[in-house]
Amino acid sequence: MKTSQESGRSAKGRGGARKPSRDAAPAAVTPEVAPVTAATTDLAPVVGANLRRLRVKRGLSLEKLSKLSGVSRAMLGQIELGQSAPTINVLWKISTALGVPFSGLIGQRQAGGVLVLRSDQAKTLTNHDGTYSSRALFPFDEPRRVEFYELRLAPHGEEHADGHAPGTTENLVVARGAIEIDIEGARQRLEQGDAIVFEADTAHTYRNPSDDEALMYLVMTYADTVG
DNA sequence: GGTGTACGATAGATCTATGA
DNA sequence: TCATAGATCTATCGTACACC
- CATH no. for residue A150? 2.60.120.10
* pTM assigned to the model: 0.53
Give the closest nucleotide to A84 (alpha carbon vs C1'): C11
Q: Alpha helix (H) ranges present in chain A?
A: 3-12, 44-57, 62-69, 73-80, 88-98, 103-106
Same domain, A135 and A211: yes
CA-wise closest residue to A78 among A148, A143, A9, A27 = A27
Distance, Å, A123 CA → C14 C1': 32
Strands A195-199 and A123-126: unpaired
Give tens-digit pLDDT for A154-200.
888 888 777 777 778 889 999 999 999 988 888 999 999 999 999 88
**All protein residues with a CB under 7 A from any atom of strand B:** A 2, 5-6, 9-10, 13-18, 20-22, 32-33, 56, 61-64, 73-74, 77-78, 80-81, 83, 128-129
User: Pick the residue with more confidence: A19 or A209?
Assistant: A209
Instruction: Please check whether residue A81 is in contact with residue A62, taking contact to mean a CB–CB distance below 8 angstroms.
Output: no
pLDDT value at residue A14: 31
Query: Taking 80 as the threshold, does the pLDDT of residue A204 lie above it?
Result: yes
Residue A208 resides in a domain? yes
Q: Give the nucleotide nearest to A72 (CA→C1').
A: C13
For residue A73, the enclosing domain spans 26-106
A74 shares its domain with A44: yes
Q: What are A17-69's pLDDT values in tens digits?
A: 333 333 333 332 222 333 333 333 456 777 777 888 888 877 788 888 888 88
Which positions on strand C lie below 7 Å from a protein C-beta?
A: 8-16
Provide the number of structural domains found in chain A: 2
User: Which residue gives the smallest C-alpha to C1' distance to B12?
Assistant: A16
Cα torsion A49, A55, A58, A59: sign: negative
**Within-domain flag for A77:** yes
Nucleotide nearest to A65 (CA to C1'): B2
Phi–psi pair at A55, nearest 5 degrees: -70, -45
CATH of the domain at A91: 1.10.260.40
Please give the span between the terminal C-alpha atoms of chain A, in angstroms, as a whole number. Answer: 37
